[in-house]
Amino acid sequence: MKKRTMALLAAMLMIVGVMIGSTLAWLTAKSDAVVNTFTASNIKIDLTETTGSTYKMVPGCTIKKDPTATVKGGSEDCFLFVKIVERNNFSHYMTYEVDTSVWTKLEGESGVYYKKVNASSSDQSWNILKDKNKEIKVNSSVTKADMTSLTESTYPKLEITAYATQLYETNGKEFAVADAWAKVKPED
CATH number, domain with residue 156: 2.60.40
Instruction: Report yes or no on 33 lying in a domain.
Output: no
Q: What is the pLDDT of residue 188?
A: 64
Q: Which domain holds residue 79?
A: 45-184
The residues near 92 (Cβ < 8 Å, ≥ 6 apart) are 139, 142, 146, 156
Instruction: Report yes or no on 86 lying in a domain.
Output: yes
Instruction: Report yes or no on 90 lying in a domain.
Output: yes
Q: How far apart are CA 35 and CA 159, in angstroms?
A: 48
Instruction: Report yes or no on 136 lying in a domain.
Output: yes
CB 64 within 8 A of CB 94: no
Instruction: Report yes or no on 17 lying in a domain.
Output: no
DSSP 95-155: E--B-TTT-EE-TTSTTEEEEEE---SS-EEEESBSTTTTEEEEPTT--HHHHHT--TTTS
Instruction: Report yes or no on 105 lying in a domain.
Output: yes
pTM of the predicted model, to two decimals?
Answer: 0.80
CB 66 within 8 A of CB 47: no
Instruction: Report yes or no on 108 lying in a domain.
Output: yes
Q: What is the pLDDT along the chain (188 residues), one digit of tens a residue?
A: 677 777 677 667 677 665 655 556 788 888 999 999 888 889 999 999 998 888 999 999 999 999 999 999 999 999 999 999 999 999 999 999 999 999 999 999 999 999 999 999 999 999 999 876 788 999 999 999 999 999 999 999 999 999 999 999 999 899 999 999 999 988 76
The residues near 64 (Cβ < 8 Å, ≥ 6 apart) are 51, 133, 134, 135
Could you give the number of structural domains in the chain?
1
Q: What is the pLDDT of residue 169?
A: 92
DSSP 58-108: -TT-EEE---EEEEPTTPPSEEEEEEEEEESSHHHHEE--B-TTT-EE-TT
Instruction: Report yes or no on 4 lying in a domain.
Output: no
Q: What is the pLDDT of residue 187?
A: 77
Q: What is the pLDDT of residue 165?
A: 96
160 closest CA partner among 49, 43, 56: 49
The residues near 58 (Cβ < 8 Å, ≥ 6 apart) are 138
